[in-house]
């Protein structure tokens, strides 16, 4: 009975977030195309919490999806369970990312090659410059990244969000969106986070209904097989993420 009450309250709170379209009022580029760039820290971050929305967007023939991943994900605990080196895991995870990107309908995957858990120590100006260069090359009208707390508080997520936000401010992009969660679901996630922090947790300003995209979202998530089978928390998070029919975003900046 208690859990039923919690879910009813949660459903009511989530329903108050309006449904929206990430392309609303976005002007296509000179070729009539809308270039969408995702900026995330690790292979699989591009799929958690937003893959259904990306699938909806790439169904629009105007949209070209570019996936920018900042690290190799090479220090994940999966390497210990598999008994392999960090270097080998990094190669595996990049290939998993490319497989997930194919499911999502991406035009390209760009990998900066930082080590997992190394973004916080990277030179901020250099990182911002690298992200800005990708924004300029792709001509991204829309950019999607971690919210300032990065859902889990992971230092790489925080650094990626800061770099994307600063680079976007220096670019010709039109919309910057954060991937986020409704407050109750965010609070549940924080219970299991191993990265305590005080960064801002963004409240959603719109949600996207993804019922029709969930099978392909599952295929994209499970393309990251090292995480599904050999990373306990990520494997559990994948199952949890697939329970929901909506994905949530915050419009962080509009030009």
Decide the pairing of beta strands 175-180 and 246-254. Answer: antiparallel
- Report phi then psi at 61, rounded to 5: -60, -15
190 or 37: whose pLDDT is higher? 37
Domain range summary for the chain, segments of one domain joined by + = 31-254
Q: Across the chain, what does the average pLDDT equal?
A: 92
Name the residue among 59, 36, 33, 34 with its Cα closest to residue 46: 36
| Domain covering 31-254 in this structure, CATH number | 3.40.50.10320
- Specify the pLDDT at position 57: 98
Contact between residue 41 and residue 154 where contact means Cβ atoms under 8 Å apart: yes
Please say if the pLDDT value at position 1 is more than 50: no
Say what the pTM is. Answer: 0.92
Containing 247, the helix (H) or strand (E) segment is: strand 246-254
Please say if the pLDDT value at position 202 is more than 70: yes
- Specify the pLDDT at position 196: 66
Give the list of residues 6+ apart from residue 63 with CB closer than 8 angstroms, or none. 23, 33, 34, 35, 36, 57
Q: pLDDT exceeding 70 applies to what percent of the chain?
A: 91
| CA–CA gap between residue 198 and residue 189 (Å, rounded) | 15
Please say if the pLDDT value at position 187 is more than 80: no
Confidence of residue 193 (pLDDT cuts 50, 70, 90): low
Four-CA torsion 207, 44, 177, 186, nearest 10 degrees: 60
Confidence of residue 104 (pLDDT cuts 50, 70, 90): very high
Give the Cβ contact number of residue 197 at 10 Å: 17
Give the list of residues 6+ apart from residue 8 with CB closer than 8 angstroms, or none. none
What's the mean pLDDT in 144-148? 96
């Amino acid at each position: 009975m208690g859990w039923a009450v919690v879910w009813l309250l949660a459903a009511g709170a989530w329903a108050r977030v309006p449904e929206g379209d990430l392309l609303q009022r976005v002007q296509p580029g000179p070729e009539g195309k809308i270039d969408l760039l995702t900026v995330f820290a690790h292979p699989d971050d591009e799929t958690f919490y937003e893959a259904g929305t990306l699938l909806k967007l790439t169904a629009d023939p105007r949209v070209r999806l570019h996936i920018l991943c900042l690290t190799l994900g090479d220090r994940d605990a999966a390497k210990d369970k598999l008994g392999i080196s960090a270097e080998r895991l990094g190669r595996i995870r990049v290939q998993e990312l490319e497989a997930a990107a194919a499911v999502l309908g991406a035009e390209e995957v760009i990998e900066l090659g930082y080590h997992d858990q190394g973004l916080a120590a990277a030179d901020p100006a250099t990182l911002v410059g690298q992200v800005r260069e990708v924004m300029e090359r792709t001509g991204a009208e829309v950019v999607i990244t971690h919210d300032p707390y990065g859902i889990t508080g992971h230092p790489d997520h925080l650094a990626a969000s800061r770099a994307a936000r600063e680079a976007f401010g220096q670019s010709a992009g039109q919309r910057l969106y954060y991937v986020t969660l409704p407050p109750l679901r965010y609070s549940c996630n924080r219970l299991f986070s191993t990265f305590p922090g005080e960064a801002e947790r963004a409240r959603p300003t719109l949600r996207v209904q993804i019922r029709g995209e969930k099978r392909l979202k599952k295929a994209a998530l499970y393309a990251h097989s090292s995480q599904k089978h050999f990373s306990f928390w990520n494997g559990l998070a994948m199952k949890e993420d697939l329970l929901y029919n909506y994905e949530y975003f915050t419009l962080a900046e509009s030009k």
